[in-house]
Amino acid sequence: MTLGIIGGTSLFGTKFLEGAEEREVDTKYGTVYLLFTAAHEVVFIPRHGKERNIPPHRINYKANIMAFKELGVEKIIGATSVGSLKRAIKPRSLIVPHDYISLCSIPSFYDDELVHVTPVLDESLRNTIIKVAKDSGMDLVEKGVYFQTVGPRLETKAEVNFIRDYADVVGMSMASEATLATELGLRYASISTVDNYAHGIIAEEELDYEKIVDAASKSMADLEKVLMKLMEVVA
Ligand code: HPA
């Protein structure tokens, strides 16, 4: 069974994609650039595109998730970058969210039919990710609520102050992917690199995107290690 991994730009050029074959897959929602690692039967979609320039609010989530479905992928691991809403969840750790909040409009495959799925993150896939990350000695947070914002801007301090009571981390893509996967009957779970404290969590800390990218590239080696093991275990 083929495993799907969808991740950010920091994963490009890592060992995990060595020798992967580039492909373009047409779906009714658009064309998706992806990498296919025949050895492990893993399909990787860089969610920001080949040129790494598609911002979160412009990602063609429907095409991405449909491409997985059309390639016979049944399990998807989303590798995402998040900001921490809790002092105890430290940057450079990894977190495997168990639930999510998305109060803004997100894409759906059901634009012309009355279908209401019950969203879930796949518990068995989550447990596999947790086991692999723990066995690899990672600094891992095993559960947490992911709050999705629209982006591309970061949150205001007031927004962070509001959502911190209800969620543990904040990011811009996981809820959309998890919901669409559920709509297509695919199993989805996510592992996130905690790349910063969200705006205002540490009063004296200035937040800017450059710092987040820098932290994400530092955590990339940890993420790569976990994903490589997962490719053996899950696929
Ligand atoms: N906010 C939203 N998305 C993010 C953040 C953040 O602080 N860090 C990484 N992705």
Q: Cβ(81) to ligand 1 under 6 A? A: yes
pLDDT at 17: 79
Q: Cβ(170) to ligand 1 under 6 A? A: yes
Amino acid at 120: V
Tokens describing residue 112: 């012309």
pLDDT greater than 90 at residue 117: yes
Dist. CA 150 → ligand 1 center (Å): 11
pLDDT greater than 70 at residue 235: no
3 state SS for 49-104: CCCCCCCHHHCCHHHHHHHHHHCCEEEEEEEEEEEECCCCCCCCCEECCCEEECCC
Dist. CA 66 → ligand 1 center (Å): 26
Tell me the residue range of the domain where 28 lies. Answer: 3-233
Token pair 């690199």: residue: 193
Average pLDDT over residues 207-224: 89
Average pLDDT value for the chain: 93
Total domain count for the chain? 1
Q: What's the pLDDT tens digit per position in 155-210? A: 999 999 999 999 999 999 999 999 999 999 999 999 999 999 999 999 888 888 89
Any idea which of 2-11, 106-115, 161-170 has the lowest mean pLDDT?
2-11
pLDDT at 128: 97
Number of the ligand 1 atom closest to the C-alpha atom of 198: 7
CB count in 10 Å sphere of residue 200:
16
Dist. CA 152 → ligand 1 center (Å): 9
pLDDT at 1: 54
Tokens describing residue 127: 């447990």
CATH code (residue 58)? 3.40.50.1580
Q: What percent of the chain has pLDDT over 70?
A: 99
pLDDT at 73: 96
Q: Could you tell me the pTM of the whole model? A: 0.95
Q: What's the pLDDT tens digit per position in 24-42? A: 999 999 999 999 987 768 9
* Helix, coil or strand: residue 181: helix
- Which residue pairs, CB below 8 angstroms and at least 24 apart, start in 36-41? 37/231, 40/3, 40/231, 40/232, 40/235, 41/1, 41/2, 41/3, 41/235
Dist. CA 62 → ligand 1 center (Å): 22
